[in-house]
Structure 1
Amino acid sequence: MSRIADNLATVQARIRQACVLSGRDSASVRLVAVSKLHPASVITEAAASGQQIFGENYVQELVDKAGQLNDPIEWHLIGHLQSNKVKYLPGIVSMIHTVDRLSLAQEIDRQWRNKQDTSCAVLVQVNVSGEATKSGTTATEAVELVRQIARLPNIRVRGLMTMPPFFDDPEAARPYFKELRLLAEQIRNEQIPGVEMAELSMGMSGDFEVAIEEGATLVRVGTAIFGER
């Protein structure tokens, strides 16, 4: 077994264990392998080991890798997205995790209308920590942003995404994950037409077990699979 295959098996085992401890079905949590700054060859290696979803932070890198690979891969854009880069994504990505403003959503809607027969699945990024260095709408403004995005015909709001502050102790991130889950429940209760709060994208290599315990359905793991960049 290769190093990456072994790492993937370890991460998947950790996901299953976290689900057992929190009384969840492991099928309710999907692993997004974060491959940014790693060569396309390691993605092929991970795909050969059964990994299907890969997350990239940078549009150009994602487009370049997608052009190199023929593996049956589902690409997610998980990094900050500038509106002028959206035009490169239709036909490549199946989900964008980082929609944090209406103008960006409107550009996604326009590009998908022009280039795709299907709508784009998006997550609304919420800056639950309030850190100035992180992107995302505020928890206070998230409900109205979701309501506005839901009116766009070529977008499907599937849930929320967040990045908590970095802590050495993963337990310290728990309140931020819990806040996102409660916000998703609040939005779900609004019963906004066309909106699903089916996905919570939260948790990375150092804290994804805690995120799963708090309801994560998509965990974004890079270092624990591919090693340091």
Structure 2
Amino acid sequence: MSDRKQELAERTAEVREALANAARQAGRAPEDVTLVAVSKLHPASDIRALAETGQAEFGENYVQEALSKQEDLAGLDVNWHFIGGLQTNKAKYVAGKFALVHSVDSSKLARALHNKAVSLDTVQDILIQVNIAGETQKSGVETERLPELAEEVLGMEGLRLAGLMTMPPFFDDPERARPVFARLRELRDRLETRLGVKLPHLSMGMTGDFVPAVEEGATLVRIGTRIFGARPPRG
């Protein structure tokens, strides 16, 4: 095993143990929390090395970078997650290429993904991104508009709504993010009751705040730096 592969394997094992401990602390089963390794700006060789140790879920933020990696790693048995902000005009490149799109935040984007998925005769799994803290610099639908958008998505046969995603403000103390995570869970529970559907996934929690996220119900945790190290500057 190469030094880099060993390093990635050890870091991922440490993260998995921390996730499992957080789950147990909350009375949850560790297997109910899925680690999405955020590999943006890291080379395809890192993804291959980590996949060979058993990591199956990888998150990417930039469309062209992600598609290039998918081409380089064709045949590798992994699931790709698109977790970054997505412009409507790039939706056609994403639909059908990712196991899950975490960042749908408008009916316009949803419709673009739906149209492409239908043309491919497939169904694209998505999450709706919610801007719970109301930060103007962050993507996400406002909480007041969430039910309306969810209903629209449920009417699109090219999409399958699987849950919600959020990104809290950055806090030095991760405990300060807990109310945001709790709020996303509450919004999901209300939507399930209102719409009569199951929404199994809550994508929330990153390197700095995944413990309260898991304790508040996260099913998908997006962790990059703690696994891959500091990201190189975007070229």
Query: Is this a same-fold pair by TM over 0.5?
Result: yes
* Residue identity in the other structure for 1:6: E
Q: Aligned to 2:112, which of 68, 85, 107? A: 107
Higher mean Cα deviation, 89-98 or 166-175? 89-98
Question: Which residue is equivalent to 1:14?
Answer: 18
* Residue identity in the other structure for 2:90: K
CA RMSD of aligned residues (A): 1.0
Question: Which residue is equivalent to 1:227?
Answer: 229
Identical aligned pairs, as a percentage? 47
User: Matched residues in 2 for 1:124 and 1:108: separation?
Assistant: 13
State whether residues 128 and 164 of structure 1, in contact with CA within 8 Å, keep that contact through their aligned partners in structure 2.
yes
User: Matched residues in 1 for 2:105 and 2:214: separation?
Assistant: 23
Number of aligned residues:
226
User: Matched residues in 1 for 2:217 and 2:122: separation?
Assistant: 28
Give the secondary-structure state (helix, strand or coil) at the position aligned to 1:145. helix
1:179 is displaced (CA, Å) by 0.5
User: Matched residues in 2 for 1:197 and 1:152: separation?
Assistant: 16
Structure 1: 4+ residue segments shifted above 6 A: none
Superposed, 1:174-185 pairs within 5 Å as 174-185=178-189
1:196 is displaced (CA, Å) by 2.9
* Residue identity in the other structure for 2:118: R
**Are 1:29 and 2:20 an aligned pair?**
no
State TM-score, norm by structure 2.
0.94
User: Matched residues in 1 for 2:98 and 2:33: separation?
Assistant: 19
User: Matched residues in 2 for 1:107 and 1:92: separation?
Assistant: 14
User: Matched residues in 1 for 2:147 and 2:119: separation?
Assistant: 28
Question: Which residue is equivalent to 1:73?
Answer: 78
**Are 1:3 and 2:31 an aligned pair?**
no
Question: Which residue is equivalent to 1:84?
Answer: 89
Superposed, 1:140-159 pairs within 5 Å as 140-159=144-163
1:227 is displaced (CA, Å) by 0.4
Q: Aligned to 1:210, which of 203, 209, 212? A: 212
Q: Aligned to 2:100, which of 79, 95, 104? A: 95
* Residue identity in the other structure for 1:218: L
User: Matched residues in 2 for 1:199 and 1:92: separation?
Assistant: 19
Give the secondary-structure state (helix, strand or coil) at the position aligned to 1:121. strand
* Residue identity in the other structure for 2:107: L
Gaps of 5+ in 2: none
1:66 is displaced (CA, Å) by 0.2
1:27 is displaced (CA, Å) by 1.1
Q: Aligned to 1:43, which of 40, 47, 54? A: 47
User: Matched residues in 2 for 1:82 and 1:130: separation?
Assistant: 20
Any idea what the Cα deviations from partners look like across 1:6-43, whole Å, max 9, x if unmatched?
A: 00000000011011100001111101000000000000
State whether residues 157 and 196 of structure 1, in contact with CA within 8 Å, keep that contact through their aligned partners in structure 2.
no
Question: Which residue is equivalent to 1:187?
Answer: 191
Any idea what the Cα deviations from partners look like across 1:127-180, whole Å, max 9, x if unmatched?
A: 001011100001111011101111001101000000000011110100000000
